[in-house]
Structure 1
Amino acid sequence: MLDYDKEAGRYDASRGGEARAAAATESLLALIPGTATRLLDIACGTGIVTRRLATARPGLRVTGADLTPAMVRMATARLPGAIVRADSRRLPFRTACADVVTTVWLLHLLDDPADRDAVVAECARVLRPGGLYVTTVDKAAAHDVGSDVDAVLAPRPRRPAADAAEQVVAHAARHGLQPSGRTSFRGTGQGRSPRSTIADLRRGWFTQLPPGEPRTEEFAARLARLPDQDRPRVDPVFTLCAFRKPG
């Protein structure tokens, strides 16, 4: 896993920045009822989406939480007084306190099923009856857009998707959450170019290809032979799933 303390300073710029945040926020708001008054944004990162959620609906009280100190500092600068440092597996919020809980780009990071289950259990715990849990699913698959870059990367070793939709549905069901909707948004600015993908390989973004290993460099060499080294290919499309707590 990446060191998110080190990654924080360049996190937004390397992941679509404000354009992607705007698209994510618009899709989240399409799922969130207008009657909601309290939202917890868990693993909020730099707060780039958290701030947009807070400003889009003045009647919605938004609190962000993240475990990484550098991320918390950046999020606090964007939304002072509304960010806490917390482990998503042990949330410091009282039971049934929120109308909505979101985890955007979190579950794919959790290889241990017990950790994923703990996160979903906590999100279910802090939801009020009738409340909504919204999360991204199938993040890695969203990046496979059928490009020449993907063709080069196709034989690479992959870990099983921690946020596969069917697994997330199963975790949710174990904690009494029922499917309640689905939508998607474009990851604007995240289309891969050959050169940017080589840089990502060498930074350790592809978890089964450690930087510096011969096989990693073999993939980098193949990518370097592609045309249009700096032309981004098609943007990924991310999926959001909503789950309701019976009330």
Structure 2
Amino acid sequence: MLDYNKEADGYDVSRGGEARAEAATRTLLDLIPDTVGRLLDVACGTGIVTRRLAAARPGLRVTGADLTPAMVRRATARLPGAIVRADSRRLPFRGGAFGAVTTVWLLHLLDDADDVRAIVAECARVLRPGGVYITTVDKAAAHDVGSDIDVVLAPRPRRPAADAAGTVTGHATRCGLQPVGRSVFRGAGQGRSPRETIADLHRGWFTMLPPGDPRTEEFAARLARLPDQNRPRPDPTFSVRAYRKPAAG
């Protein structure tokens, strides 16, 4: 996994910046009922989405939580007094404290299936009856847009997706949550170019292809033979799922 203390300063720019954050925020708000009073944004990162959620609905009390100190500092600068440092597997909030809980670009990062289950369970625990849990799913698959880059990378080894929609829905259902909605939004400026993909390979972003591995270099060489080395291919389309905690009684 990336060192997010080191990534924090350049994180937003490398992940679509304000344009992607705006698209994500609009999609989340479409799935969050107007009656929600408190929202928890788990693994809020730099707070780029958290701040937009708070600004879009002045009556919504938004709290962000993240484990990485550098991310917490950046998020706090955006939303002073509303950010806490916390492990998403053990949230420091009482049960039923929030009307909505979000996890945006979190579950795909986890290698341990028990961690995914624990996070979904914690989000369900702190959700009040009638509240909604909203999360991104299938993030890795979103980047497969049918381009020539994807054709080259198709044979690469892949780990099972921790955030596969079916897997996440199974965890949510076991926690008593019911699927209630889904949506998508387009990434902004995140279409891969061959040259950028080669750099990502060498950075270790493809987790089953470590830097220096002969297979990594073979894929890099294939990518280097593609035309238009600097031309970005189409942007990814990200998927979002919503689950509701049944109202008491």
- TM-score class normalised by the smaller sequence: over 0.9
Amino acid at match of 2:212: G
Secondary structure of the structure 1 residue equivalent to 2:232: coil
Please state whether the residue corresponding to 2:222 is helix, strand or coil: helix
Aligned position for 1:60: 60
1:81 matched residue in structure 2: 81
State the SS of the aligned residue for 1:242.
Answer: strand
Residue in structure 1 matched with residue 243 of structure 2 by the alignment: 243
Aligned pairs (5 A) from 1:110-121? 110-121=110-121
2:23 corresponds in structure 1 to 23
Deviates more, 1:110-119 or 1:43-52: 110-119
SS state at 2:220 partner: helix
Once the two structures are TM-superposed, the CA of residue 4 in structure 1 deviates from its matched residue by 1.1
> What is the CA-CA distance between 1:113 and the residue it aligns to?
1.5
CA-to-partner distance for each residue in 1:60-102, whole Å, 9 max, x for gaps? 0100000011111111111111100000000011110100000
Cα distance in structure 2, aligned partners of 1:83 and 1:20: 21
Spell out the pairing of 1:66-145 with structure 2 (5 A cutoff).
66-145=66-145
What is the number of residues matched between the two proteins? 247
Output the CA distance in 2 between the equivalents of 1:226 and 1:171: 41
Measured after TM superposition, the shift of residue 211 of structure 1 is 1.1
State TM-score, norm by structure 1.
Answer: 0.99
Letter paired with 2:78: R
Q: Give 2:153's aligned amino acid.
A: L
Q: Which shows bigger deviation, 212-221 or 188-197?
A: 212-221
| Match in the other structure for 2:205 | 205
- What is the CA deviation profile of residues 94-116 of structure 1, one whole-angstrom value per residue up to 9, with x for unaligned ones? 11010000000111111211111
Over the matched positions of the two proteins, sequence identity in percent amounts to 79
Q: In the alignment, does 2:226 pair up with 1:226?
A: yes
Please report the RMSD computed on the Cα atoms of aligned residues, expressed in angstroms.
0.7
For 2:35, the equivalent position in structure 1 comes to: 35
Return the alpha-carbon distance in structure 2 between the equivalents of residues 219 and 204 of structure 1.
13
Residue 35 of structure 1: how far off its partner (Å): 1.1
Separation in structure 1 between the aligned mates of residue 229 and residue 63 of structure 2, nearest angstrom: 41
Unpaired runs of 5+ residues, structure 2, are none
Letter in 1 for 2:201: L
Task: Give me the whole-angstrom Cα distance separating, in 2, the residues matched to 1:158 and 1:2.
Answer: 17
Match of 1:99, as an amino acid? G
Q: CA deviation at 1:31?
A: 0.4
AA matched with 2:21 = A
Residue type at the aligned position of 1:89: R
Unaligned 5+ segments in structure 1 are: none
Distance 1:121 1:159 in 2: 23
